[in-house]
Amino acid sequence: MKAQRDVWGQTLVDLARTDSRVAVVDGDLATSTKADLFADAFPDRFFEIGIAEQNMVGVAFGLSTLGFRPWLSTFGVFLTHRALDPIRMLVSQTGAPVKIAASYSGLLNGSSGKTHQDIEDLAIMRAMPGMTVIAPADAIEAEAAIRWAADHDGPVYLRLARDAVSDIFSPGHAFTPGTVHVLREGNDALLVSTGVQSSRVMDAAALLAEEGIEARVVHVPCLKPVDEAALLSALSGPAPIFTIEEHSIIGGLGGLVSELVTSTTLGKTVTRLGLADAWSESAPNSYLLDKYGLSPARVAGQVRHALADD
Amino acid sequence: MSRTQATKTGTAELQRLAAAGRWHVIKTVADAKAGHIGGPLSAMDLLVSLYFNELSVDPGNPQDPARDRFILSKGHCAIGLYSVLALRGYFPVEELATFDQGGSRLQGHPDMKLTPGVDSSSGSLGQGLSAGAGMAMAAKQLGTDFHTWVMLGDGELEEGMVWEAVHTARRFKLDNLTAVIDLNGLQQYGWPVSEDDDRFDRSNPWSGVDLSGVFTCFGWNVISIDGHDFDAIHDAFDRVREQRGSGKPTVILAKTTKGKGVSFTEGTYKWHNGIATPEQLASAAAELGQVFEGEAK
């Protein structure tokens, strides 16, 4: 069980040994994102830009036109918000192979509070044409996604969590864009999740099972592209659908699943769990997960309550 | 013309090319019923000088890895760039007629995926210098010798991202990067005329600011010229080359006149963009020494 940020820096070091295209463009946060591992190993391909996120995106684009495949290193919130316009014009609209490593994503970022909590990133990045949007479940899937992204000739948004969660996947797991993973079978409820929240949802499913409620857990690591047929297949059956994400309930995974379900004749309701159009606050992880309904116990409780109401 | 130019284009020929370029701008925009006039015309002498006397480029091989890079950061002046690219041979002059039309390679703002010779997409202002800095960093890292040129507008300098790149360029000692600032003193609407500044019909956006001093303080090499004086432009380009190895990026502060070359478009913010009437087209053609076959209605 490692943190995604730890495997990010180390995986880039491993890749750079044999791939001269790998570079890192940092916004003065390498000690947080763990890009400092790369800086130590490959100082010539580590570009420290300082606290200038728009500029670092422009620089990364410029590097990409000469054959580099640069990885951006800063907190996700500064990329998806402050640097959104350069990402839009220089990266997405040109299809540049710039890799947006959104570190410290979601709610849990070391008690930094709402200024640093990026709970809108999936909605923003999903809406951007040509962007691959990935939210891996654990360190193993993160490493697989990094390896895939490094070889992908186009822009990638990669949502990385600061803190470690229990591993979902086994070493050697390969990432394939669009793939949907059914992590657990059950016919009483359909729990759909993404990113590291999937690990907590697996724990929630275990709690529900103790009460005799069997939930199917569907992990969606790639919000775009997504294998819609596979996702719809995973959502079939009579059980109600819940989406659970460490993100706003607007436009992210809940948006994706709702859009998909309403475009078919599935005829099921989708209950979206996550940040209900509200800013969060500075607090320890356990407090935030509990308050915003994302801890295993709170997820299980909301599902149990909803099933009881039916 | 080959990539490495043995001889410089003479001033008379540059003047002829600039007049043709200005005509293509005003005529194309009138035909398309959309586009910008004032900025493309103020930048035209600089663009012609770059493409016919400075940039090491080959229109027959626009992706040549060794080519000099040029980024029009003030992307709304795309028609000015397209006109010069056409004159330089990247695509037929006749293709300018497709500007802004559906399916055209010549979009309202430069698109590097569509237009031969365009090294970076632009349009949202303030981003080109960062892109150019990245190209210049890559060139140094890869040991390649090309030079990267970025043209910005003086209104565009109001964007904060520009100054992030100004800082970065000095920190990385990018003496292979040059910013050319088209200081035409006007923007789309701009600033009201004040008591201490009455340039043209609106205030110079940098009134009261020592722009040369600002770049100097950032550690840049600064060259201030008349952006319509071909000799001064060429001298500035020579000095840019002399600065290679100094560790300093260079900025050329080129004082220009918005709408330069056509009497009714000069010096007014009202021709930032605009559609010339047939009468105005006839007048512009006469001033620029061009043949206008349309009929004045």
Question: Tens digit of pLDDT for each residue in B73-127?
Answer: 999 999 999 999 999 999 999 999 999 999 999 999 999 999 999 999 999 999 9
Q: Which residue stretches of B52-126 are H helix?
A: 78-88
User: Which residues on A lie below 8 Å from B147 (Cβ)?
Assistant: none
Mean pLDDT, chain A, whole residue set: 97
Domain ranges of chain A: 4-159, 181-309
Residues facing A242 on adjacent strands: A191, A271
Distance CA B254, CA B99 (A): 27
Distance CA A104, CA A282 (A): 14
Distance CA A72, CA A122 (A): 17
Distance CA A86, CA A81 (A): 10
Domains of chain B: 15-288 (3.40.50.970)
CB A120, CB A251: distance < 8 Å: yes
Topology given in CATH for the domain delimited by A4-159:
Rossmann fold (3.40.50)
Sole residue written with tokens 């105005």: B280
Percent of chain A with pLDDT over 90: 97
Q: Are strands A215-219 and A181-184 parallel, antiparallel or unpaired?
A: antiparallel
Reported as a pLDDT band with limits 50, 70 and 90, residue B6 is very low
Residue A19: pLDDT above 80?
yes
Residue B204: pLDDT above 80?
yes
Q: Is B65 exposed, middle or buried (0-12, 13-18, 19+ CB in 10 A)?
A: exposed
Q: What is the DSSP letter of B246?
A: S
The string of pLDDT tens digits covering residues B125-151 is: 999 999 999 999 999 999 999 999 999
Q: Give the ipTM of the model, two decimals please.
A: 0.95
Distance CA A191, CA A103 (A): 25
**Chain A residue nearest residue B111, CA to CA:** A94
**Sign of dihedral through CA atoms B117, B123, B129, B131?**
negative
Q: Which residue has the higher pLDDT, B195 or A303?
A: A303
Residue B274, amino acid = G
- Measured distance between the N- and C-terminal CA atoms of chain A, rounded to whole angstroms: 38
Residue B20: pLDDT above 50?
yes
Interface residue of B63, B70, B72, B120 to substitute, partner A, most A CBs within 10 Å = B120
Distance CA A199, CA A183 (A): 10
CB atoms closer than 10 angstroms to residue B199? 14
Distance CA B173, CA B177 (A): 9
Position B197 scores a pLDDT of 62
Cα A79 to chain centroid distance, Å, stands at: 14
Span A128-150, average pLDDT: 98
Topology given in CATH for the domain delimited by A181-309:
Rossmann fold (3.40.50)
Residue A2: pLDDT above 80?
yes
Residue B2: pLDDT above 50?
no
**Cα→Cα distances B182→A42, A200, B120, B166, B179, Å:** 39, 56, 18, 16, 10
- Specify the range with the lowest mean pLDDT, choosing from A23-27, A177-181, B116-120, B189-193: B189-193
The string of pLDDT tens digits covering residues A286-306 is: 999 999 999 999 999 999 999
Span A210-222, average pLDDT: 98
Question: Is B121 within 8 Å of A60 when comparing Cβ atoms?
Answer: no
Distance CA B283, CA B26 (A): 11
* Main-chain phi, psi angles of A140, to 5 degrees: -70, -45
Q: Which residue has the higher pLDDT, B24 or B200?
A: B24
Question: Is A52 within 8 Å of B168 when comparing Cβ atoms?
Answer: yes
Distance CA A250, CA A273 (A): 10
Position A85 scores a pLDDT of 98
Cα B53 to chain centroid distance, Å, stands at: 14
Residue B201: pLDDT above 80?
no
Sole residue written with tokens 């963009």: B273
Is B83 strand, coil or helix? helix
Residue B13, amino acid = E
Position A123 scores a pLDDT of 98
**B134 has a chain A CB within 8 A of its CB:** yes
Cα B3 to chain centroid distance, Å, stands at: 20
Position B296 scores a pLDDT of 46
Question: Is B167 within 8 Å of A88 when comparing Cβ atoms?
Answer: no
**Cα→Cα distances B119→A59, B35, B41, B125, B224, Å:** 14, 21, 21, 16, 26
The string of pLDDT tens digits covering residues B168-192 is: 999 999 999 999 999 999 999 888 8
Position A73 scores a pLDDT of 96
User: Which residues on A lie below 8 Å from B121 (Cβ)?
Assistant: 89-90, 93-94
Reading phi first (left if > 0) and then psi (alpha if -120 to 50, else beta), residue A277 is in left
Facing residue for B135 by CB, picked from A47, A66, A88 = A66
- Nearest-CA distance B102 → chain A (Å): 18
- Nearest-CA distance B165 → chain A (Å): 6
Sole residue written with tokens 């996550």: A274
Q: What is the DSSP letter of A91?
A: I
CB A181, CB A166: distance < 8 Å: no
Position B295 scores a pLDDT of 57
Is B161 strand, coil or helix? helix
Distance CA A254, CA A235 (A): 13
Residue A126: pLDDT above 60?
yes
Reported as a pLDDT band with limits 50, 70 and 90, residue B198 is low
Q: Which of B191, B215, B216 is nearest to B202 (CA)?
A: B191
- Nearest-CA distance B134 → chain A (Å): 4
The string of pLDDT tens digits covering residues A147-166 is: 999 999 999 999 999 999 99
Q: What is the DSSP letter of B9?
A: P
Distance CA B249, CA B245 (A): 10
The string of pLDDT tens digits covering residues A56-114 is: 999 999 999 999 999 999 999 999 999 999 999 999 999 999 999 999 999 999 889 99
Residue B194: pLDDT above 80?
no
**B139 has a chain A CB within 8 A of its CB:** yes
Question: Is A62 within 8 Å of B142 when comparing Cβ atoms?
Answer: no
E-strand spans in A104-202? 132-134, 156-159, 181-184, 189-193
For residue B116, say if its preceding peptide bond is cis, omega within 30 degrees of 0: no
**Cα→Cα distances B64→A14, A165, A305, B117, Å:** 31, 48, 64, 10
Q: Which residue stretches of chain A are H helix?
A: 4-18, 30-33, 36-41, 53-64, 76-77, 84-86, 121-126, 139-151, 197-210, 228-234, 253-262, 285-291, 296-309
CA atoms within 13 A on the CB side of B214: 13
A4-159 and A181-309, same CATH topology: yes
